[in-house]
Structure 1
């Protein structure tokens, strides 16, 4: 019977770690090639101390360009745009104003359920760079701010409210 105890503890530990990781606002795909088009899926695993989520705000860094959110039944969408200090080229068109925040409002995501919020965007930046998407979850009572950015060398899982992140990789060249 004793050999089963370490296996049972390992299984329980794995379950606790996976539930803790799921508890954060997180991106389904955590890496993408620099310059690529990216489908972002932000997972929201719970409400705010038991309260239902009614609004989700995703703040985009400048390297996340030309973002388009996917509509969700029962939720309204708002795109907050800002004038850019430095325009960029998007397939021959100079873009001088871009989406800096995606907002889903009017929903009622119970603490007993999880959901996914989807968008597409082009990822500018350099390979090795990490892009952080500050995510604010507003609930019927309170809010959760997934905005903490780890210090160099710090494990983001050590933070109570880490911002969802995408690490840029080398672009793959097809011949």
Structure 2
């Protein structure tokens, strides 16, 4: 009896853990495809799972942070989805690459042309974004997920330090520190190009020298043949003169 009760209690506890932990695996999230370094550009994927058994996800809205606006946001074409990029005027213009930017992307919306994300599936929505802020460790987005039955789930709650994860957490993109390699990437490419140019010039010089040597050898060969023929002819003539004498 004790063993049965222990087993039953264990099963209940396990199922409780599964139920409580399920939302953590099902919320809308964002992850970079590679590094997302401060001051640089990155490709990020918004991962959207379908949490319903009887409805499909037909629309996703991602709102961008206004405290760290991004001037460049480019979506990747996706079959079965129509994408719309919304820009808004900035209260304070940004300066990027020596130019002032007066507007930035504030929202990207994907709308399904067909069935959307059906039950039991998830979808990734990729974006190329930048330049990432240099004075922030993370970017917090607000996502709104709409289902085919008109239900709307708002993934907009920020994660507070030291607190449990909220029921509908907002997607958070963690930024990495810019490395020296990234700062010197352009200079490195220039040096590589210079080295390649030098190597190409050396190859051209070597090829020219080789061609010149081949030409000289051919000329000397022809001259040698002509001299040889002339020598033979002279010998024949001289032999005939001695015979006639």
Distance 1:115 1:47, change over 3 A: same
Q: Partner of 1:52 in structure 2?
A: 56
Give TM-score scaled by structure 2 length.
0.59
Q: Partner of 1:98 in structure 2?
A: 104
Q: Which structure shows the higher strand fraction?
A: 1
**Alignment partner of 1:42 out of 39, 46, 60:** 46
Q: Does 1:22 align with 2:25?
A: yes
In 1, distance between residues paired with 2:154 and 2:52?
A: 10
In 2, distance between residues paired with 1:72 and 1:47?
A: 21
- Any idea what SS the aligned residue of 1:151 has? coil
Q: Which structure shows the higher helix fraction?
A: 2
- Any idea what SS the aligned residue of 1:21 has? helix
> Deviation of residue 52 (structure 1)?
0.7
Give TM-score scaled by structure 1 length.
0.80
**Correspondence 1:58-77 to 2 at 5 A:** 58-62=62-66, 63-65=68-70, 66-77=72-83
Confirm or deny: 8 A CA contact 2:69 2:104 kept in the other structure.
Answer: no
Q: Alpha carbon RMSD of aligned pairs, Å?
A: 2.9
Q: Partner of 1:126 in structure 2?
A: 135
Deviation track 1:118-138 (CA, whole Å, cap 9, x = no partner) reads 10111114243x211100011
In 1, distance between residues paired with 2:167 and 2:56?
A: 20
Confirm or deny: 8 A CA contact 1:64 1:121 kept in the other structure.
Answer: no
> Deviation of residue 64 (structure 1)?
4.6
Confirm or deny: 8 A CA contact 1:126 1:168 kept in the other structure.
Answer: no
Q: Does 1:32 align with 2:39?
A: no
In 2, distance between residues paired with 1:85 and 1:127?
A: 19
Q: Does 1:82 align with 2:107?
A: no
> Deviation of residue 103 (structure 1)?
0.4
**Structure 1, unaligned stretches of length 5 or more?**
none
**Alignment partner of 2:160 out of 135, 151, 166:** 151
Worse-superposed segment, 88-97 or 101-110: 88-97
Aligned length: 164
**Structure 2, unaligned stretches of length 5 or more?**
1-6, 185-245
Q: Does 1:167 align with 2:174?
A: yes
Higher relative contact order (CA 8 A, sep 6+): 1
Larger radius of gyration: 2
